[in-house]
Amino acid sequence: MKRNTFIFTTVGLCCAIFDTSAWSVNNFLMTGPKAYLTYSTSVSVGAHSGIEECKHQFNWERWNCPESALQLSTHNRLRSATRETSFVHAISSAGVMYTLTRNCSMGDFDNCGCDDSRNGRVGGRGWVWGGCSDNVEFGERISKLFVDGLETGQDARALMNLHNNEAGRLAVKEMMKRTCKCHGVSGSCSIQTCWLQLAEFREIGNYLKIKYDQAQKLEMDKRRMRAGNSADSRRTTVETFSNVLTTELVFLEDSPNYCMRNASLGLHGTEGRECLQGGKNLSQWERRSCRRLCTECGLRIEERKIEVVTNCHCKFRWCCVVNCLDCKQTVTKYYCSGRRAMSNKTRRRNRGPKR
């Protein structure tokens, strides 16, 4: 079941990213169809890993990075400009840059390799640059071309997306780590060579999740924008964005109430979602998941006993078979379910939007 969903996501993203009309605008920037083909797998693998990370980071949140959120292309009329949109853009753009950079260091592309531009220079006390630094400049350049190329508009939303794409790419750079190797007489480590290496993508996800929590809402002066001519209003918009650090995520609209199903926004609501309860090893955040997803959304927590079959009592028989028994095990899972059990009063009290 999981696997099917996974494949579906890949297809969805491939087509959002490679929307043909979006691509054609951008096409002339590359040296032709060959360049497009060279990087296209990487770009779509990268966008996909961004989305997987999004799903991980938002696993126990009301908004859990649903498919409907993943339309990066401006051609999607539904696109929103919420805090969540800002994360989707940053993490996708980071994912694309990350994969391109990694591919480059692995020697997957003819025209690119490690960044050895600093090699041989002294980097600091006791160390010199050496080895294979990940070529983030390459990853940055190509991913910018592909991902930013999807933004064809000039309005505040387009600027917001471009800003968050950039923040995602900066996160990849920001998180790079210096890795060193010792040299010197019998491993004395009197001198080291060091290079810069990409962090684990998970760390970039964690970092951007914090940026998401701190994201800034930009208030566009709608009246002034309407009153002025379009060049004026564009200048005002650009100015508003230039006041924000590129490392920070920005958004324009408040989030809708993610508790509630809203078909026109493509939101499923939290009814039917699984949450975690009672596990010994849960983080604070996980431990509160039933409250956040169910109770505070006016839903009740339903306990379901589910029988799972696992391989157990496996025995190795010489030679060479493994015999196992099927063991049935009952696990308890928790889900948010219908509003029936709630009184009208309680329901009203819990209705307020809450992140």
Ligand X SMILES: *[C@@H]1O[C@H](CO)[C@@H](O)[C@H](O)[C@H]1NC(C)=O
**In angstroms, what is the minimal distance from the CB of 205 to ligand X?**
16
Q: List Cα–Cα distances, 187 to 180, 181, 183, 196, 278, in angstroms.
A: 13, 10, 6, 22, 50
Does 152 contact ligand X by CB under 6 A? no
State the nearest-atom distance from the C-beta of 41 to ligand X, in Å: 5
- Told to check if 344 binds ligand X by CB under 6 A, we report yes
CB of 45 to ligand X, least distance (A): 5
Instruction: Give whichever of 145 and 244 is closer to ligand X, judged by the CB atom.
Output: 145
What are the structure tokens assigned to 33, written together? 């169809």
Task: State the nearest-atom distance from the C-beta of 39 to ligand X, in Å.
Answer: 7
When asked if residue 99 is in the footprint of ligand X (CB under 6 A), the reply is yes
Q: Give the residue at shortest CB distance from ligand X.
A: 108
Structure tokens at 258: 């993610």
Q: Considering the complex, what minimum distance in angstroms separates the CB of residue 134 from ligand X?
A: 13
User: Does 103 contact ligand X by CB under 6 A?
Assistant: yes
Which tokens is 148 given?
A: 């930013």
Selected range binding ligand X among 62-70, 88-96, 97-105, 184-192, rule: CB under 6 A: 97-105
Please, which residue, 233 or 270, has the CB nearer to ligand X? 270
Question: Minimum distance between the CB of residue 99 and ligand X, rounded to whole angstroms?
Answer: 6
Number of residues that bind ligand X (CB under 6 A): 15
Q: Does 143 bind ligand X (CB under 6 A)?
A: no
User: Which among 102-110, 148-156, 180-188, 222-230 is the span making contact with ligand X, rule CB under 6 A?
Assistant: 102-110
Contact 96, 44 (CB under 8 A): no
Asked whether position 262 contacts ligand X by CB under 6 A, the answer is: yes
Q: Which stretch binds ligand X (CB under 6 A): 3-11, 150-158, 201-209, 254-262?
A: 254-262
Nearer Cβ to ligand X, position 125 or 280? 280
> CA dihedral in degrees (217, 221, 222, 223; nearest 10)?
160
Q: Which is nearer to ligand X, 29 or 78 (CB)?
A: 78
Residues near 125 by beta carbon (within 8 Å), at least 6 away in sequence: none
b/e map 81-103, b = 16+ CB within 10 Å: bbbbbbbbbbbbbbbbbbbbbbb
Q: By CB under 6 A, what part of segment 269-298 binds ligand X? A: 281
Identify residues 18-77 at the interface with ligand X (CB under 6 A): 41-42, 45
Shortest spacing between CB 48 and ligand X, in angstroms = 10
Q: How many CB atoms lie within 10 A of CB 327?
A: 11
- Examine residue 256 and tell whether it contacts ligand X (CB under 6 A): yes
Minimal distance, residue 96 CB to ligand X, in Å: 11
Alpha helix positions (H), the chain:
2-17, 20-27, 33-57, 83-105, 136-143, 156-174, 201-213, 222-227, 230-242, 284-287, 289-293, 344-349
Which uninterrupted H or E stretch holds 314? Answer: strand 300-317
Name which of 188 and 284 has its Cβ closer to ligand X.
Answer: 284
Sequence-separated contacts (24+) of 82-85 with Cβ below 8 Å: 82/251, 82/252, 82/253, 82/254, 82/255, 82/256, 83/212, 83/215, 83/217, 83/249, 83/251, 83/255, 84/212, 84/255, 85/160, 85/161, 85/164, 85/251
Q: Does 172 bind ligand X (CB under 6 A)?
A: no
Q: Which residues contact 211 (CB under 8 A, 6 or more apart)?
A: 90, 167, 171, 247, 248, 249
Q: How far is the CB of 280 from ligand X (least distance, A)?
A: 7
Q: Which is nearer to ligand X, 41 or 190 (CB)?
A: 41
108 binds ligand X (CB under 6 A): yes
Q: What are phi and psi of 304, to 5 degrees?
A: -125, 135
The answer to the question of residue 264 lying near ligand X (CB under 6 A) is: yes
Query: Which residues would be at the binding site for ligand X (CB under 6 A)?
Result: 41-42, 45, 99, 102-103, 108, 256, 260, 262, 264-265, 281, 343-344
